[in-house]
Amino acid sequence: MTSAPDPPSPARVLLTGARGFTGEPLRRTLEQAGYEVIGTVLEKAGPGEVALDLTSAEQCVDVVARVRPDYVIHLAAISFVPHADAADFYRVNVVGTTHLLEALSRSKHEPLKVVLASSANVYGNIGGASIAETQPFAPASHYAASKMAMETMAATYFDRLPIVMTRPFNYTGVGQSTSFLVPKIVSHFARGERVIELGNTDVERDFADVRMVVDVYRRLLSSDIRSARLNVCTGIATSLTNVIRLMEEIAGYEIDVRVNPAFVRRNDIKQLTGDPAALIQAIGPLDIVPLRETLAGMYHAMR
């Protein structure tokens, strides 16, 4: 990955969702680059962490006042699309983010950059060519609708805070929960399973490696860009059929793929491929990890 620039001193990052799939490697990367990272967690806080329930405006004010962050990267969210309670998406992703931004806007210590993680799911099921940031919103799930609402709300703070909103497309890597599709597929091969049940298999996604996404977040901190929305993607479409083929090559055997109607999402997006041009203009060339390398790393980590 591209080496990190030396952060200004002091350089304290408030990282929400610090124990998540993206948060943990991002924390390590930022610390290696010289940043001091204070992570937020819902449960009991450990070293370098603070407890924070984003749905509490009072807790947000208290944490911002105590941490006095120079930078903020906001990853915490309800992100599992089939999550059972639809209202949670809005309580956490919209109201929680509002509380955080309001606390930051009232703080006497103004941050140098606030990076908010949105989602490419805000584009909905449009298919076709690579999607640029100018594509209109068309959310097809409560998760996507909550991210759309979060972006709309956050834009009202553009005149008060140096905000950059990222729209990550699909990404995966070592450590992602097997409740997500790619780790589920890899885990079947790691266990030597001969049959796998999936939902829609004719979908195509822009699969990035979590290491690329982490590198993007790190580089955004030192960028000049603000009041912007940026796709985080590779621009390369890969079908689930190809993911399975790559895993068969890695594991050395073929698997029987069966479609389980219970796993088929009625509103599933058929193709989701991003245009990374604006991101590249903001931070420079991307360090794209080949998908085969990503899958192989996940496979060996699970064995």
16, 27 contact by CB (below 8 A): no
> What positions carry a catalytic annotation?
143
Is the pTM higher than 0.85? yes
Residue 2 confidence (pLDDT): 46
12-172+208-235+273-288 under CATH 3.40.50.720, yes or no: yes
In which residue are the tokens 């210590």 written? 109
pLDDT of residue 297: 98
Burial tier of 129 (Cβ tally within 10 Å: 0-12, 13-18, 19+)? exposed
Give the per-residue pLDDT at 127: 65
Cβ atoms of 164 and 278 within 8 Å: the answer is: no
Dihedral sign for Cα 39, 40, 44, 50, please.
positive
Residue spans of the domains in the chain: they are 12-172+208-235+273-288
**Sheet harboring 204-205: ordered strands across?**
238-239, 204-205, 271-272
pLDDT at 201 (0 to 100): 81
Give the per-residue pLDDT at 248: 98
Would you state the pLDDT for residue 78? 86
* Burial bucket for residue 146 (CB in 10 Å: 0-12, 13-18, 19+): buried
Predicted pLDDT at 86: 85
Neighbours of 145 (CB within 10 A): 20
- The whole-number pLDDT of residue 189 equals 98
Per-residue model confidence (pLDDT) at position 79: 74
- Per-residue confidence (pLDDT) for residue 267, from 0 to 100: 63
Amino acid at 70: D
* Pure H helices in the chain: 23-32, 57-67, 86-90, 97-106, 142-155, 181-190, 210-221, 240-251, 277-283, 291-302
Per-residue pLDDT of the chain (303 residues; tens, 9 = 90+): 444 455 656 699 999 999 999 999 999 999 999 999 999 999 899 999 999 999 999 999 999 999 999 999 999 998 766 555 789 999 999 999 999 999 999 999 999 999 999 999 999 877 666 899 999 999 988 999 999 999 999 999 999 999 999 999 999 999 999 988 999 999 999 999 999 999 888 888 999 999 999 999 999 999 999 999 999 999 999 999 999 999 999 999 999 999 888 887 766 677 789 999 999 999 999 999 999 999 999 999 999
